[in-house]
Amino acid sequence: MTMVSPFSLSKENLAITIEKLKKSKGNGKWGERIVSNEHYSVTVIHQPPGTPNDHHYHLTDECWIIYEGELTWQYEHHSEPVRVTKGDVVFAPRNLWHHIEPVGDKPTIRIAVTPAGEFHRYDREGCKKLPSA
C-alpha cells in the first residue's frame, strides 16, 4: 500500500495552505510534493539560511514561484547570480546547471513546478552533489 501525504492535492483534497504546511513540517530544510501526476509535479521547498542546494541540471525546463524569503540562483551560462524574493518567478533552462542558495537570515519557501519523472543530474562539468550529512 502506498502512503499518501495528507498534503497531497487530489480530487478529494483540493486545497492546502502554505502556512498549514509550514506549521506541520517545521523550521528545518524540507520539501513536500503536493501534486504529482503523469505530466508534472509541484513541490513546496523550505530552506533555512545556510542550506544551499547542489549544482545540478535537468533535461527539461523547470520553474519556481518564490513564496517567502530571498534566494540567489547561479546559472552555468550567466556570470552573476540572479537574486529573487517573494512574488518572483524563476526559470531554469534545460541542460544548464543551476545552484540555489538562501540569502540573509530568514527561511525561504519556493514552489517548484517540474515535469514528471525529472530529477537532479550530475554527470556534467560544473555539477556537484552536496556532501552527505
Q: What is the reported pLDDT for 130?
A: 85
CA distance 52 to 21: 21
pLDDT category of residue 133 using cuts at 50, 70 and 90: low
Residue 126 within any structural domain of the chain: no
Residue 121 within any structural domain of the chain: no
Residue 65 within any structural domain of the chain: yes
Write out the residue range of the structural domain in which residue 68 sits. 29-115
Rounded to two decimals, the pTM is 0.91
Residue 108 within any structural domain of the chain: yes
pLDDT tens figures, 7-32: 999 999 999 999 999 999 999 999 99
Residue 47 within any structural domain of the chain: yes
Provide the mean pLDDT of the chain: 93
Q: What is the reported pLDDT for 131?
A: 79
CA distance 87 to 12: 28
Residue 97 within any structural domain of the chain: yes
Q: How many domains does the chain have?
A: 1
pLDDT tens figures, 54-98: 999 999 999 999 999 999 999 999 999 999 999 999 999 999 999
Residue 103 within any structural domain of the chain: yes
CATH no. for residue 80? 2.60.120.10
pLDDT tens figures, 47-58: 999 999 999 999
Residue 93 within any structural domain of the chain: yes
SS3 call for 21: helix
Residue 45 phi/psi, 5-degree rounding, is -120, 125
CA distance 92 to 59: 11
Name the nearest CA neighbour of 108 among 72, 54, 58.
72
